[in-house]
Amino acid sequence: MKLAVVGATGMVGEVMLQVLSERNFPYTELIPVASKRSVGKKVFCGGKSHEVVGLETAVSIKPDIALFSAGGSISLEWAPKFADSGTVVIDNSSAWRMDSSKKLIIPEINANKLTASDKIIANPNCSTIQMLVALAPLKENYGIKRIVVSTYQSITGTGVKAVQQLENEYKSKIGEMAYPYPIHRNALPHCDVFMDNGYTKEEMKLVNETHKILDDLSIRITATAIRIPVVGGHSESINVQLKKDFELETIRKLLNESPGVVVQDNPENNVYPMPIYAAGKNEVFVGRIRKDESQKKTLNLWVVADNLRKGAATNTIQIAEYIVKENLI
């Protein structure tokens, strides 16, 4: 099992190496791949040192699986080259998500759609992943009419430059800006770029990816995405209108028994999900479960997850684990 990690020296790539080690992924050869300036550097995974190679070298090695987290332009150019050599590519960028010929996969929801002919597989956006891990069981049991979601997103979703900006601002130090405004003591209603309809790309990803993953264009969805000065993970306030009525205890039990979900919902004892406790964990945490008293058959949820783990690295590796388990390579 030759496994390539493309973008191994980046923020998500480093987390991929950690998760691979923690989950004892069954590779026999690990191929860390990065840009030319990183070739020859060493990365560590599974207690061993591995030398970084370039993209052309990695293609020539013909890995069985390649985990991509190097940005959309790299994925568009290089994923087909890996796929043509027989490699299964699991891509963490937005490059292939809405391509009708590519599967968009959250293993807890739709991994069973994968076949041996799928050579480029898309990993959804981090915000979409955590929302749907929580909502898919509700759709299956009650049906969903409408979703209103507001996200409160970690700066790690922007990358190293954003983390550095926040650290500089903590120290009152002038440095490179990842955002058009300070992020320390602030909240920016601006994730990704604005589109003609007034929404950002991040907000429209929540709409379009949800329709594709749940295979249901009838669900009405509206989103607002906010960047906040948090490092540990993304939080979401979700208002979901169901097709059938429900009892709260049944909802709690259903979510608690759903794969990848941890219910933390005891507000009397101040128990609810928070990004500071989700950091470094692979699960999606759900709390503040309550009925919307303004509208029938409607539920409010607070959903938190580590965006670099379940929102990126862990979900990608879970797809790879499914491919290995089902002998799809």
Residues with catalytic function: 126, 234
Do residues 156 and 308 lie in contact, with contact meaning Cβ atoms separated by under 8 Å? yes
212 contacts 128 by C-beta, under 8 angstroms = no
Q: In what order do the strands lie in the sheet with 88-91?
A: 29-33, 2-6, 65-68, 88-91, 120-122, 103-104
The 8-class DSSP code of residue 8 comes to: T
Helices 11-22, 314-325: inter-axial angle, 10-degree rounding: 50
C-alpha–C-alpha distance, residues 132 and 315, integer Å: 12
Q: Are 165 and 178 in contact, with CB atoms under 8 Å apart?
A: yes
Helical (H) or strand (E) element with 221: strand 220-227
147 phi and psi angles, rounded to 5 deg: -130, 130
Which ranges in 171-215 belong to alpha helices (H)? Answer: 201-214
Task: Write the burial class of residue 118 (CB in 10 Å: 0-12 exposed, 13-18 middle, 19+ buried).
Answer: buried
Which residue type, as a one-letter code, is found at position 131? Answer: M
Angle at 56 between CA 52 and CA 57, to 5 degrees: 50
